[in-house]
C-alpha cells in the first residue's frame, strides 16, 4: 500500500505541481490585466460611449466624425481550459469563458477610447462589438469594438463649473 502511494506520487507529482504553478500564474496574470483595465477605464471615462446608432450629440463647430476602432486578441491559459472542459461535461456555468470574453470586450473598448482621445474626440456613438473564436478550442478570442467618434459640446457644458 505504501509502495503504491509512493509510486503514484513519483509518477504524478510533477504534473500536479505544474498544474498548480500554471493555475497560480495564469490567475495572477488575469488579476493584473483586470486591474490595468480598471485604471484605463477610469482614465478614459470622460469619453462618452453610446451604443445608440442614430443618436446625434451636439457637435462642436466645424467638427468632423471619424470611425475609431479597438481590436485585441486574448488567450485563456491552458489550465483554465482544462477545468472548463471538465465543467462542460456536467453542464456547469463556464465562468472561465465569461471572464475571457469580458476581458476581451473591455480591452477592445479601452483601445477604441484611447484612439478617440488621441485624435481629440470626446464622444463615441454607434458602438458595435464583435467577438470571434480564433482557434477550435475556444481558448483564443478576438474582440473588435468600433464606433463613430465626434467632438461634442454636450460634455463641455455639463462638466464646466457655473
Q: What is the pLDDT of residues 132-157, one digit of tens each?
A: 988 776 678 899 999 999 888 775 44
Q: pTM for the whole thing?
A: 0.79
Closest C-alpha among 25, 13, 47 to residue 123: 47
The more confidently predicted of residues 100 and 56 is 100
Q: Residue 73 and residue 127: Cα distance in Å, rounded?
A: 19
For 59, which DSSP code? B
Q: Is the pLDDT of residue 159 over 50?
A: no
| pLDDT tier at 55, thresholds 50, 70, 90 | confident
Q: Residue 44 and residue 123: Cα distance in Å, rounded?
A: 11
Which residue(s) pair with 48 in the sheet?
123
The overall average pLDDT reported for the chain is: 84
Q: Residue 149 and residue 96: Cα distance in Å, rounded?
A: 33
If DSSP codes are grouped into helix, strand and coil, which group holds residue 1?
A: coil
Cell numbers for 151 = 467632438
Q: Residue 131 and residue 21: Cα distance in Å, rounded?
A: 30
Q: Is the pLDDT of residue 158 over 50?
A: no
Helix count and strand count (H, E) for the chain = 4, 4
Closest C-alpha among 154, 144, 130 to residue 55: 154
- As a dihedral over the C-alpha atoms of residue 18, residue 22, residue 23, residue 24, rounded to 10 degrees, the angle is 100
pLDDT attached to residue 1: 54
pLDDT digits (tens, 9 = 90+) for 4-49: 888 888 888 888 888 888 888 888 988 999 999 999 999 999 998 9
Q: Residue 93 and residue 129: Cα distance in Å, rounded?
A: 23
Length of the chain: 162
pLDDT digits (tens, 9 = 90+) for 60-109: 777 788 999 999 998 877 777 777 777 778 877 777 788 888 999 999 99
Amino acid at each position: 500500500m505504501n509502495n503504491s502511494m509512493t509510486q503514484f506520487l513519483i509518477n504524478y507529482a510533477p504534473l500536479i505541481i505544474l498544474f498548480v504553478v500554471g493555475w497560480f500564474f495564469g490567475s495572477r496574470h488575469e488579476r493584473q490585466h483586470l486591474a490595468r483595465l480598471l485604471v484605463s477605464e477610469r482614465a478614459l471615462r470622460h469619453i462618452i460611449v453610446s451604443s445608440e446608432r442614430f443618436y446625434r450629440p451636439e457637435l462642436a463647430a466645424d467638427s468632423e466624425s471619424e470611425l475609431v476602432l479597438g481590436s485585441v486578441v486574448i488567450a485563456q491559459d491552458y489550465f483554465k481550459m482544462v477545468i472548463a472542459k471538465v465543467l462542460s461535461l456536467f453542464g456547469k456555468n463556464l465562468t472561465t469563458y465569461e471572464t475571457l470574453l469580458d476581458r476581451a470586450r473591455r480591452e477592445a473598448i479601452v483601445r477604441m477610447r484611447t484612439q478617440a482621445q488621441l485624435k481629440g474626440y470626446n464622444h463615441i456613438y454607434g458602438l458595435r462589438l464583435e467577438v470571434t473564436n480564433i482557434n477550435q478550442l475556444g481558448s483564443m478570442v478576438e474582440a473588435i469594438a468600433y464606433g463613430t467618434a465626434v467632438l461634442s459640446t454636450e460634455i463641455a457644458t455639463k462638466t464646466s463649473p457655473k
